[in-house]
Amino acid sequence: MSDRLANVTALPDRAVPTRIGNLVFETKAALLRLRRAGSDLILDAPKRHRRGEALVAAPILATIRSPLWTTRGGTKDRTLNAGKIQNLRAAISGLDGIEIGAGDVLSFWRQVGKPLRRRGFVEGRELREGCMIATVGGGLCQLSNALHEAALDAGLEVVERHAHTRIVPGSRAEAGRDATVLWNYLDFRIRSRSPFRVEARLTADELILTIRGVIAGAFMPVPEIPAGATAHDCLSCGQTTCHRHNPDDVDAGAPTAWLVDGASPEFVALIRDRAGPDDVLMLSSRRFGKAAAAWPALAAEYSADLATLRRSLALRSAGSGTPRARILLEAEARLAAAYARRLGAEHTHLVVAQPLLPHLWRLGALRGRSFEVVLDRLPIDAMHRVLDAARDLYPDSATLGDFRAAEAIAAAEREALGEAVRLITPHSAIAARFPPTRVDLIDWQAATPLPATRGGRTFLFAAPALARKGAHAMREAMEQLDIALLLERPGEERPGFWGDRDVRLAQEVPSQLAGVILPAIVEHRPATLLRALAAGLPVIATEACGLPPQPGLTLIEPCDSTALREAIRQVLS
């Protein structure tokens, strides 16, 4: 229902609503619902239409945009607005992407379904008996209004439409382009002589409804301009003796929901600096994993222990041929679903960890919400391009193809990143992929220094010896160099990869190191490089590691073994 409210006062001849009157209304509504159910049985109810792709590129016949938020302030006004947006979020999943065949009827309620709390609907503002009140499913008329107006502009045939009995100033009812709905007897139904498609989405500020098709399907009469009375608003009508009276409170702000997973020091510091007293923290677990104790405690908290335990078991039981990245993607989807179920209508702004982003987007949990994203890895599209280019250079690599997400996941992340109000990252190479006006480049957090001093001819390779970490460039650079190399973590491209070079797995960090090397093609968390710089050790790395230029750091291009060899010589000299 339209929420573009203005200050209105009670009409002098308006009777104050009573509980008996409300009971009479509910009794009439129940009888009308029974009659509608009976007529649908006898006359064949409209079918429920499914999503399709046949008309996804068809011409746009009409697009309607309507704002989600009012300009009024106050806690209850904001709460009812947030409730309305939650109801729209729950409803448009039944409309977005559906395609209707020629001559078939599209029924609003058949697509949306009954607005029940167990289906995700909450209290929003609804126009009932001339008054704006709070009811479960309230606000859905904003969606039916938009569908009606789009149908008019597209030239579709309106089979059933009901006007509001009262007019909200500034709403579509003033122009006769509204369509009120009330489960299930006040329905809105349309059809066309040609197939058409409905697309509905929520941004942080707007409802956008689009109808696509090849040709307009019917001729519509000019809308009849109503002359009804002005609607009352429980927030401002002045009827304090009404049993529905529920005055507004002082504006107390809105909570932010923080949706996190891995506890990077930068993300932890961000929450400590920015989280408010009413914010909620959604984290993987306080019981399992190394990150359990790292997150700060907020007033409200939710942990997804079962999803986290399932991820841990999946990683431990995975066979040697199962890519770790695929297991993590599936686990991130489950974690995102657990968080989405706990998000309430009051959570209108989110800060989201990037691995959860595409899954939340596909679930529709980000519709109608503003959100920021903490970027802790390359976007999936960029990751695919980088790894594909590296595989062209090193076709014998067995590991460059082990991270590939499905196109649907990549597309979801791409769309969600485009809608985010802000992107936050400490990684300079990731930040450089977006316009500077959209990115907050935060500082890497101070690291505990490596327990080593500078000396000798032994270098630490700050990663497992995999292609994406620059193992091929490192192997080639070691030719003609008299150095030893310690691998920080186990993992090799294949047995015998290093030949007769002096390379071994580090059991512990030695007391002396000539420097630390990471010629990575992809690196998202350069923790060991930060520790080496904190210890005053020379560091050779690529820009892909995300560190800004600074004393002690030599930056080279990935896959450039010649530049890497020269940098090592400079360190030794």
Residue 129 is predicted with a pLDDT of 54
Mean pLDDT of the chain: 85
Residue 233 is predicted with a pLDDT of 52
What number is the average pLDDT over the span 198-226? Answer: 75
pLDDT per position as a tens digit, 170-193: 566 555 678 989 887 889 999 999
Report which of 120, 77, 78 is spatially closest to residue 343, judged by C-alpha positions.
120
Which helix (H) or strand (E) segment holds residue 206: the answer is: strand 206-213
- Strand 453-461 to 439-441 pairing: unpaired
Q: Compare 133 and 396 and report the one with higher pLDDT.
A: 396
DSSP 150-203: HHHHHT-EEEE----SSB-TTSGGGGT-----BTTTB--EEE-SS-EEEEEEE-
Using CA atoms of 321, 292, 410, 96 in order, give the dihedral in degrees to the nearest 10.
Answer: 130
Of 239-248, 415-424, 435-444, 445-454, the range with the lowest mean pLDDT is 239-248
Residue 328 is predicted with a pLDDT of 87
Residue 35 is predicted with a pLDDT of 75
What number is the average pLDDT over the span 485-493? Answer: 91
3-state helix, strand, coil in the chain (%, to 5): 35, 20, 45
Q: How far is Cα 167 from Cα 492, in angstroms, rounded to an integer?
A: 71
Q: How many Cβ atoms sit within 10 Å of the Cβ of residue 205?
A: 11
CB-based contact 29:185 (threshold 8 Å): yes
Residue 125 is predicted with a pLDDT of 77
Q: How far is Cα 284 from Cα 271, in angstroms, rounded to an integer?
A: 15
**Which class for 193: exposed (0-12), middle (13-18), buried (19 or more C-beta within 10 A)?**
middle
Q: Where residue 199 falls among pLDDT bands split at 50, 70, 90? A: very high
Instruction: Name the class of domain 256-441.
Output: alpha beta
Beta bridge partners of 350: 257, 371
Q: How many Cβ atoms sit within 10 Å of the Cβ of residue 321?
A: 5
What number is the average pLDDT over the span 146-164? Answer: 92
Those residues whose C-beta lies under 8 Å from the C-beta of residue 440, and which sit 6 or more positions away, are 422, 423, 424, 425
pLDDT per position as a tens digit, 47-79: 899 999 999 999 999 999 999 987 655 666 788
CB-based contact 488:463 (threshold 8 Å): yes
Q: What's the pTM value of the predicted model, to 2 decimals?
A: 0.83
Q: Where in the chain is the domain with CATH 3.40.50.2000?
A: 453-572
Task: Tell me the backbone φ, ψ of residue 83, rounded to 5 degrees.
Answer: -65, -40
Q: Where residue 149 falls among pLDDT bands split at 50, 70, 90? A: very high
Which helix (H) or strand (E) segment holds residue 503: the answer is: strand 503-505
Which helix (H) or strand (E) segment holds residue 33: the answer is: helix 19-43
Tokens 């497992």 map to which residue?
Answer: 464
Tokens 């940098």 map to which residue?
Answer: 567
Q: To 5 degrees, how large is the angle CA 425–CA 303–CA 93?
A: 80
Residue 221 is predicted with a pLDDT of 44
Q: What letter does residue 97 receive in the DSSP assignment?
A: T
Q: How far is Cα 66 from Cα 282, in angstroms, rounded to an integer?
A: 31
Q: Compare 23 and 12 and report the one with higher pLDDT.
A: 23
Residue 74 is predicted with a pLDDT of 62
Report which of 537, 541, 534 is spatially closest to residue 453, judged by C-alpha positions.
537
Q: What size, in residues, is the chain?
A: 573
CB-based contact 343:352 (threshold 8 Å): no
pLDDT at 44 > cutoff 80: no
Those residues whose C-beta lies under 8 Å from the C-beta of residue 173, and which sit 6 or more positions away, are 2, 163, 164, 166, 167, 226, 228
Report which of 151, 180, 185, 155 is spatially closest to residue 166, judged by C-alpha positions.
180
Structure tokens at 534: 């904190």
Q: How many Cβ atoms sit within 10 Å of the Cβ of residue 322?
A: 13
Residue 250 is predicted with a pLDDT of 41
Structure tokens at 472: 């091929």
Residue 395 is predicted with a pLDDT of 92
CB-based contact 184:33 (threshold 8 Å): yes
Q: Where residue 415 falls among pLDDT bands split at 50, 70, 90? A: very high
Residue 14 is predicted with a pLDDT of 54
Which segments of 344-493 does DSSP mark as H helices, in order? Answer: 357-363, 380-393, 407-419, 428-431, 471-477
Report which of 324, 317, 277 is spatially closest to residue 296, judged by C-alpha positions.
277
Residue 296 is predicted with a pLDDT of 87
Q: Compare 25 and 433 and report the one with higher pLDDT.
A: 433
Q: What letter does residue 465 receive in the DSSP assignment?
A: B
What number is the average pLDDT over the span 333-343? Answer: 94
pLDDT at 244 > cutoff 60: no
Please give the CATH topology (third level) of the domain spanning 453-572.
Answer: Rossmann fold (3.40.50)
Of 323-327, 468-472, 497-501, the range with the lowest mean pLDDT is 323-327
pLDDT at 232 > cutoff 90: no
Of 306-310, 386-390, 545-549, 569-573, the range with the lowest mean pLDDT is 306-310
pLDDT at 377 > cutoff 70: yes
Share of the chain above pLDDT 70, in %: 82
